[in-house]
Amino acid sequence: MLLLEKRITAVLIAVLSLAPLALPATLYAQANIAFNYLDTAGEGFYDPGSPDAASTAGGNGGATLGEQRRIALEYAANIWGRLLNSDQAIVIGAEFNMLSCSRTSATLGVTGAITIHRDFAGAPVSNTWYPAALANALAGADLAPGRDDIGATFSSAIDDGSCLFPNVWYYGLDENPPVGTIDFVSIVLHELAHGLGFQTFIDLATGVPKGGFNDVFMLWLEDHSTGLTYPDMNDAERVVASTDSGNLHWVGPEVVAGSSGLNAGRHPSGHVEMYAPNPLDTGSSVSHFSTSLSPDELMEPSFTEANHDVGLTLAAMQDIGWITTTPAASTPTVTAAAGGDGGGGGCFIGVLTD
């Protein structure tokens, strides 16, 4: 086990019209997803303020702002919980905190795996890091007892009046945020995907893998210019590949099989472009699909509209080892998690554009 000392950042640009969030704890039909509420009384997920009227109209009946946040978070988690199989609880420490914010940009949230694991019983690939939630699912055991699997922090500045950024959170469930609002459910879906495994743990500036070992995400990254995958490259080659825009591809078989619906961002082989701008976009490069994809996918770094469809992200989850299932019709039961220490990585940024 490796406890991540600093957050793995994966930046998603929200173009002034959406970015949501919310939190509780829930037992799902396929995966048991539970939340630790890390906020203190009267703030964040426990904010006693009046509910947002637009979000109420959008299907979120929470009686307070805090309850609306929890409901929206549960709603997004329910989407993932019904798609992924695990007999181990996926525990997420979630809270609202002040994150960086200005008139033109704002950090909306940070999420990611708390611990990563390798060479556990049931690991499909040896000497390879797996994020906690996936490792636990594959091992059939909690590999880091007493710790949360994913840490998620969302910006309290967006709708508490302390931020000059003009867009505010929308907690509705209808995928139809009003102009000038940020769809929280879409943001949660994106951010939870990072925590579930849509991120590499490589130091992209140096090309050095975490602790000298590959991670399961990087196994499917290929530089089309050389035909080499990340595990076959040396550190310097990984640095170059991480900025080889248009040529860094995801080559996992599930994504390739599901990519036929793309009319841009897809190589004739079915390989799908990853985000690899030059210069390196710290916190965003590699751990996202390319902005060239059309139609847009959930895990692109630029966000312009509400999106509750996990699309090719689910295929990528299958490529890294998740067992998936057809969504069940049953309603999940809300449960509460005990303990947990928060943390995480994965940064979601909103940018105001002209």
Q: Is the pLDDT of residue 352 over 80?
A: no
Domain ranges of the chain: 2-206+296-351
- Asked if 173 and 160 touch (Cβ cutoff 8 Å), the reply is no
Higher pLDDT, 269 or 101: 269
Q: What is the pLDDT of residues 100-137, one digit of tens each?
A: 889 888 888 888 999 999 999 999 999 999 999 999 99
What is the C-alpha to C-alpha distance for residues 276 and 288, in angstroms, rounded to an integer? 9
What's the farthest any 2 CA atoms get from each other in the chain? 56
What is the C-alpha to C-alpha distance for residues 28 and 77, in angstroms, rounded to an integer? 9
Strands 181-183 and 168-170: what pairing? parallel
CA dihedral in degrees (48, 168, 314, 118; nearest 10)? -70
Buried b or exposed e, range 184-202, using 16+ CB within 10 angstroms = bbbbbbbbbbbbbbbbbbb
Mean pLDDT score of the chain: 86
> Which pLDDT band, with edges at 50, 70 and 90, does 260 fall under?
very high
Alpha helices per DSSP H over 140-222: 184-196
Q: Which residue shows structure tokens 């039961």?
A: 333
Please state the pTM of the whole predicted model. Answer: 0.87
Number of H helices and E strands in the chain, helices first, is 7, 19
Type and span of the H or E element at 312: helix 311-320
Strand runs labelled E in 80-123: 86-97, 105-113, 115-117
Instruction: Determine what percent of the chain is predicted with pLDDT higher than 70.
Output: 84
Phi, psi (degrees; rounded to nearest 5) at 189: -55, -45
For the ranges 255-259, 278-282, 313-317, 347-351, which has the lowest average pLDDT?
Answer: 347-351
User: What does the pLDDT read at residue 347?
Assistant: 57
CA 299 to chain centre: 8
Q: What is the pLDDT of residues 208-236, one digit of tens each?
A: 999 999 999 999 999 999 999 999 999 99
For residue 237, the 8-state DSSP code is H
Q: Is the pLDDT of residue 24 over 70?
A: no
